[in-house]
Structures are given as C-alpha cells and as structure tokens.
Structure 1
C-alpha cells in the first residue's frame, strides 16, 4: 500500500493580497507507522515546551508563535531550530516529497476564468500523474485536507483525480481519496510542515528548510515563469 498525504501553502487566488506563490505538496510513504511515530515524538517535544495541546502544530503558526499564549521562552528563542528538527524528523521517516510550485501571476487566462477548484484540481492531478507515471502497481490511499478539497468548494476533486490516475496511468488497483481534518491526521500534519518549508523558500527567499527537504525530493512540477 502506498500512502499519499496532500497539503498546500499559499493561496491559489487572484487577489493582490494573496501570496505570489502557491505550493502543493504530496508526501509518499509505505511506512505509515514510522511517519506517525516521528510526528508523535516531535509533538511531545513541543507540548513539553508549552505548546497548547488544543492548538494544531503548523509551520506558519510555529514561526509566529510569539502570539501563542503559554509557549516557553526557549521555544520562542529557538523556534527555527525546533522547526528544522521537526522537518528533519519527517525526512528521516522514509518519505518521499513531491511538489508543485505555481507563480499565481503566471496562471493562464483560461485557468483564471474557470470555476473555483479547476486550477487546484488541475495542478494536483498533474502532480499525481507525474508521481505515478504508470509505475505504481499496488493500492494507493490519498488523504487530503478537507478544508481545501471538499465537494462544496466547487469542482469535485475526488472524481477528477481518480479519473486521471486510472486513465492516464493505467492504474488497476484500488485508489481511494479521503477528505480529512488535518488536526486528526498525523500524515497531513507532516505534509503541512514540509509544504510550509518549501513555501518559505519561494515566497520569502528562506532556503534553510528546503535544504533539509532536498535529499528526499521526488517529482517537482514548476509553473513559475
């Protein structure tokens, strides 16, 4: 069984107030328990440093944790080190990182004019097809954050990506798609942290976290020119 966890950073929108870059990330692993255990170890470290247990541990929130009540001075002072350790733990857990980066200023007119969800589905489908490339001969479980891909948000995500993988990649095994709450899925929490680290590189020129991720990079689709 192949497990895929999909999350994103940035906003794939047209408003001038949104980020310039959008990063969509998929973590791939066969070692699900190894990944879960890595996340549990890191979450315990943060909770021991005063991170509220009812507050999801996300890259963007960690980086601005001076606004979180109760965190220790040690975490405030050394948060980039702790974030780096968190990312390194994920990287060491037998995962492969695949991602798409989109410069929203370069999105074609037809995608700009399409109904909500079309561009997101398109970029996700292209990345999934690139990962599969007709070579995965076993079941796939894809878990995505329900906040961004639920059916009420527009063009259905599940049927779109299933159709692409089955037809383009000749996938003949089970391919399930689950829309879940990231607060309850350790794999989605890992994908969020990695996606944020990549986003820092493109949006802010902060490459420290991407350097940790580079050894485990797989497919990269760039839409930046």
Structure 2
C-alpha cells in the first residue's frame, strides 16, 4: 500500500520481570504494533473504539461505573467481536513479537538490561514494516508506563536506530508516550496484544482467530 504517513501505536502484555518465585511473573513478554497507513484509518479505528464503549460497555442505564477505555482482559469475546466488526477492512495491520524470557542472558535481566531489551524489541518490530521511499513521516505513540528518564532514553534510541533504516533522511520520525485511557488507538492495540498474549499463555486463540488475518508479522524471539 502506497502511503506518505505511517501511524504506529505500541502496546505490550506480560512483564519483564525475572523473579520466577514472584507471583504473576510471566514467561512471555509481548510487544504489539498497530500500524495505520493513513489518517482516515486512524479516525475509523478511533470510531470503532468509541462505538464499542458507548454501545456495548457503558450502555446500561444508571450504571454507576463508567469505563473510560477498552482493555483486553476486561471485556468479553462478543464485545471484542463487535469492535472488530466496526473496524475498516483495509488500511491497517498488526505486527507482534513475543519474547520468551526463559532464554534471556543474565546481563539483560538487570534494570538497565531490561530497558535495552525493551528498546531493541521495539526497534526490531518497527524495522519489519515495509517503509516506502516516498514516506514523509512516521508517528509512533507508545503506552506511557515509563519514568521520564526511561522515556528519554527510549526516544533517543529509537530515533537514532530508525533513522538508520529510513529510505530518506527527509522522513520525520516523531515519538510520544500517552496514557491509554486518553488514546483510543492504544486501546485497540491493547486488545490485539492481549489476544496474542492469551494465545501464548493459555493456549486460547478464540479472540486471536478473529483478527489473525490482519497480522502482518509475528515472531517468537529467542524461542526454546
């Protein structure tokens, strides 16, 4: 697909902890990119999230608690299917990488090591996108879950590495970190990321099967 602007939305599932005695530590860490090839597609996906929240999540009268966002682990499969049904047929794709944490070298299990690992995986995933020579800009929105120093480190790393793979030095690359409840596209990315995580952790592909045809790239990194 010919495009001048790319809109990327990055979310993750699982954790980067390595204390296997700690409850909740997961063997897998998954990063998912929702890639939109034009601004109109971004608007349509945003609309699908808004419709789902309005018509399926917060539709009951006198509901005391209003949900501000869609979360993969909080809504049932029929609601996820409703969301998918309202997505545009074209103009977007899913890229995902699953890290098998059981094979990670010890030096990457420190705080600094985990930050390097996260940055590398994010860059690796972005590098799998077919970037046309005519591309004018890339906008990357990441779920804001880091401290300011880690955000700056991540941004600097990604800018330096992404410019190495861009076909034109004139391409603008912008990175922002936003709270998911304020960004509908991050919520969409979360739904897809949760589906891949659920498939890996619980062998439950019920939601994944719904959207799998939109998966452009998927890989397990450092598998057993």
Please state which band the TM-score falls in when normalised by the shorter chain. Answer: 0.7 to 0.9
Q: Is the 8 A contact 1:144 1:180 kept in 2?
A: yes
Q: Which residue of 2 aligns with 1:72?
A: none
Measured against aligned partners, the alpha-carbon deviations of 1:71-124 in whole angstroms (never above 9, x if no partner) come to: xxxxxxxx2222333245447463200011011111233322461411111111
State the shift of 1:207 in Å. 0.7
State the shift of 1:54 in Å. 4.7
State the shift of 1:133 in Å. 5.6
Q: Which residue of 2 aligns with 1:60?
A: 73
Partners of 2:213 and 2:67 lie apart in 1 by: 33
Q: Is the 8 A contact 1:4 1:143 kept in 2?
A: yes
Helix, strand or coil at the partner of 1:187: helix
State the shift of 1:21 in Å. 1.0
User: Is the helix fraction higher in 1 or 2?
Assistant: 1
- Which of 109, 112, 115 in structure 2 is aligned with 1:112? 109
Q: Is the 8 A contact 2:128 2:217 kept in 1?
A: yes
- Which of 34, 54, 69 in structure 2 is aligned with 1:27? 34
RMSD across aligned C-alpha pairs, in angstroms?
2.3
Measured against aligned partners, the alpha-carbon deviations of 1:29-53 in whole angstroms (never above 9, x if no partner) come to: 1221111111111111211045832
- Structure 2 gap segments, 5+ residues each: none
Distance 1:200 1:144, change over 3 A: same
Does 2:39 match 1:39? Answer: no
Helix, strand or coil at the partner of 2:128: helix
- Which of 106, 120, 123 in structure 2 is aligned with 1:122? 120
Q: Which residue of 2 aligns with 1:68?
A: none
Q: How does 1:1-225 map to 2 (within 5 A)?
A: 1-16=5-20, 17=23, 18-29=25-36, 30=38, 31-45=41-55, 46-49=57-60, 50=63, 52-62=65-75, 79-90=76-87, 92=89, 94-113=91-110, 115=112, 116-132=114-130, 137-148=135-146, 150-153=147-150, 156-172=153-169, 173-223=171-221, 224-225=223-224
Q: Is the 8 A contact 2:9 2:141 kept in 1?
A: yes
Helix, strand or coil at the partner of 2:45: helix
TM-score, reference length from structure 1: 0.83
State the shift of 1:132 in Å. 4.4
Helix, strand or coil at the partner of 1:208: coil
- Structure 1 gap segments, 5+ residues each: 63-78
Q: Is the 8 A contact 1:87 1:209 kept in 2?
A: no
Distance 1:221 1:43, change over 3 A: same
Partners of 1:84 and 1:191 lie apart in 2 by: 15
Partners of 2:134 and 2:97 lie apart in 1 by: 20
TM-score, reference length from structure 2: 0.83
